[in-house]
Amino acid sequence: MTQAITRTDFSFPGQKGVYRGKVRDVYNIEDKYLLMVATDRISAFDVVLPEGIPYKGQVLNQIATMFLEMVSDIVPVWNIATPDPNVTVGVRCQPYPVEMIVRGYLTGSSWRLYKSGAREICGIPLPEGMREHQRFDRPLITPTTKAEQGMHDQDISAAEIIRTGLVSEEEYHKLEEYSMKLFLRGSGIAAKQGLILVDTKYEFGKRDGKIYLIDEIHTPDSSRYFYSEGYEERFNRGEQQRQLSKEFVREWLMANGFHGRSGEKVPEMTQQIVREISDRYIELYERITGREFVKADTEDPLQRIESNVDGYLKEMKK
């Protein structure tokens, strides 16, 4: 029987505390390490939806692990081990209070903003006459503040970040440099698999005076992908692009009257919808990695995780 992981409540050796985000449960181990459990929770419009998506956490964790390994020559990365398909262990950093969003195309929230009449995003002017899914001349970096749980992230300009002291000018420019290099690397990897990396987000932290890339990267929760084949034809005809991302979840929610606004009710998530979302995540894994997805044992996933992590932590202490 397939069980989705929607909540964890572990007590690991050396555990100092736990933080439960929208998707991940993060355990503090001895104030030195973070043990990040990728659950099967799914969020949209900054709202955690009522049903878990089987294998989603495994997909996110394994894609992120692969990409972190592939970009470690660009920037130091936080992860050091993956003791379970849903778990990553890494060094504990102090997160920067902004997320770095890199956009290669006018789509999703940026298109919705543009369509409403806005011609600027995060202080960056946009030209008239652009169309949905149009490629920017060069990728844009459009940062957001990192919101508290249950709140929406807010767009913010680079100038405002520096002016308010959220990040120093020197460090912010370094975050921009890293973000652009990571996006170009991710775009190149995606192109080899017949995909376009449309937009994505990066999070950074600091430890011992050094900037680290933290959290997940280039997963369907943090990124949007189009299929390369047929992109130009669909764009020229004004058609929607074939994409692998969470955008189809947002579109399903909006089509059923949910936009994340106060008082709105999340539509019923049928087993068919849950299965379709799960299949989309697995499809992206196989497309972006070029590997077959091997489903982890989900009969008792919490027991599996606890056993694997306990064994790893005992080995760490030797």
Domain range summary for the chain, segments of one domain joined by +: 17-318
Query: Does domain 17-318 fall into CATH 3.30.470.20?
Result: yes
- Torsion sign across C-alpha atoms 154, 221, 203, 85: positive
Q: Are 40 and 54 in contact (CB under 8 A)?
A: yes
- What is the predicted pLDDT for the residue at 150? 46
Are 19 and 37 in contact, with CB atoms under 8 Å apart? no
Amino acid at 121: I
Q: Which residues of the chain, if any, have pLDDT below 70?
A: 1, 147-152, 318
pTM: 0.88
Q: For 45-88, what is each residue's pLDDT tens digit?
A: 889 999 999 999 999 999 999 999 999 999 999 999 999 999 99
Q: Specify the pLDDT at position 244.
A: 78
pLDDT score, position 190: 94
